[in-house]
Copies of this chain bind each other. A is one copy, B any other.
Amino acid sequence: MRDFSINPALLAINTATVRKQWPLDRIIEECARRDIRAISPWRDQVAAVGIDKIEQALRATGIRLSGYCRGGFFPAADAAGLKAALDDNRRAIDEARQLEAPCLVLVVGSLPGALTGSPAYHDIARARNEVRDGIAASLEYARQVGMPLAIEPLHPMQAAERACINTLEQALDLCDELDPGQTGMLGVAADLYHIWWDPKLQSQIERAGAKRLLAYHVCDWLTPTRDLLNDRGMMGDGVIELKKCRQWMEHAGYQGFAEVEIFSEHWWSQPGEVVLDTCIARHKTVV
């Protein structure tokens, strides 16, 4: 297993982790100051500063992307909505290209309107079909421009609102259906927060292999967890067996970053410097 204890060369920061403290250009600056070599930014954070300015900041600091967050949210109540989602994903792919991301992460969506408490329909099988069709259509464009798509299975507690793909197995089944040749253009983002509990985790990581494992996200699962969205733990503060899982990832051929992605009211309330320094320290010791 690769040695993380020496330096943060294999640490990436998902910029949602300090989104409430700093705008993205400042996050890049703070990461550069700490020798963090990669980030995974969110589209709204990029848009708030301006993509050209972010592109320049990345060039100036030499910081790379470990992924781009995010495409997806394919299901919709009607044809116009489905079309709008495809258009939006095309724009996300273009942005990911401009910033030279290794992949666009897909949070695929689920029952349309559920996020605001008013689902347009309850048929999750329909949502899953719309996701399949949406990824298939986006993949055509992604192939043309050479931007891999990484399906991120989300925790089943987010199945109604955010993603109807909820296990690695389900994501990989879809990859096999849409990209049987394993071209490297379709794979998964393995975020331990969402999948740590899965009895098939090890076997599905093994199944995925280097060709499908496009991103690896870490944080921790707290006991108790007090919120379904914004109560992720810092690595080492919860029950996820981080080193065991990374061993499975590397054994399967994954050689990329371990990206820290923490949505947490607690960590958002801390100074950004403390959060980044803690990420670095925990990355060296427990990830």
**Of B111, B199, B239, which contacts A114 at CB under 8 A?**
B239
B124 touches A241 (CB 8 A): yes
Say if the beta carbon of A128 comes within 8 Å of chain B. yes
Q: How far is B161's CA from A223's CA once the two chains are assembled, in angstroms?
A: 7
Task: Name the distance in Å between A127's Cβ and chain B's nearest Cβ.
Answer: 10
Q: Mark A145-173, 1 if CB is under 8 A from B, else 0.
A: 00000000001110111001111001000
A111 touches B225 (CB 8 A): no
Contact status of A166 and B114, CB under 8 A, knowing A122-B239, A224-B228, A241-B123: no
Q: How far is B170's CA from A117's CA once the two chains are assembled, in angstroms?
A: 31
Q: Which of A171-224 contact B (CB under 8 A)?
A: 196-199, 221, 223-224
**Of B111, B197, B224, B228, which contacts A159 at CB under 8 A?**
B197
Give this chain's copy count.
2
Residues of B within 8 A of A228 (CB): 157, 224-226, 228
A157 touches B157 (CB 8 A): yes
Q: How far is B197's CA from A159's CA once the two chains are assembled, in angstroms?
A: 6
Say if the beta carbon of A119 comes within 8 Å of chain B. yes
A157 touches B156 (CB 8 A): yes
Residues of B within 8 A of A197 (CB): 124, 156, 159-160, 164, 166
A119 touches B160 (CB 8 A): no
Could you list some 20 contacts between A and B, CB below 8 A? A111-B239, A114-B223, A117-B224, A122-B239, A122-B240, A124-B241, A128-B199, A155-B156, A157-B157, A157-B228, A159-B196, A160-B197, A161-B223, A165-B199, A166-B198, A167-B199, A170-B199, A224-B228, A226-B228, A228-B228
Known: A124-B239, A161-B224. 4 other contacts (CB 8 A): A122-B239, A156-B197, A157-B225, A226-B228
Closest 10 CB pairs of A and B: A159-B197, A157-B157, A156-B197, A114-B223, A170-B199, A122-B239, A160-B223, A156-B156, A160-B239, A122-B241
